[in-house]
Amino acid sequence: GDSVTQMEGPVTLSEEAFLTINCTYTATGYPSLFWYVQYPGEGLQLLLKATKADDKGSNKGFEATYRKETTSFHLEKGSVQVSDSAVYFCALISNTGGFKTIFGAGTRLFVKA
């Protein structure tokens, strides 16, 4: 079935460091891809999305490019802040047996001042 694999955490960075969180997927066809973020005590929030190959999603300094050839959707940010500390989830919408969003396991990010 469709699935999402993302790098294990936690990832610990100093403020202003460069961030990459890897995400690869397995799916039938060309699903829409998403990054969600979860802050402590809250539900998930949509961070960015891309709906077709070579699309680049971006928001709040984060960006990710839909790479069909490598089935990847890596999340990047050039300079992280302490406030970026959260859990990041890569996700896709699967159309196997009806539409549903499938999530990766999540990657916890800690940013130190």
- CB of 63 within 8 A of CB of 35? no
Q: Which of 90, 96, 104 is nearest to 28 (CA)?
A: 96
- The contact pattern for another protein, residues 50-79, with x = CB under 8 A and - = no contact, is -x----------------------------
**Binding window for another protein (CB under 8 A); candidates: 15-23, 63-71, 77-85, 91-99:** 91-99
Q: Which of 90, 108, 109 is nearest to 2 (CA)?
A: 90
- Which of residues 41 and 113 has its CB atom nearest to another protein in the complex? 41
**Closest separation in Å from C-beta 101 to another protein:** 6
Contact between 43 and another protein by CB under 8 A: the answer reads yes
Beta bridge mates, 35: 48, 90
d(CA 104, CA 7): 9
Contact between 82 and another protein by CB under 8 A: the answer reads no
- CB of 69 within 8 A of CB of 84? no
> Which residues of the chain form contacts with another protein (CB under 8 A)?
31-32, 34, 36, 41-46, 49, 51, 89, 93, 95, 97-106
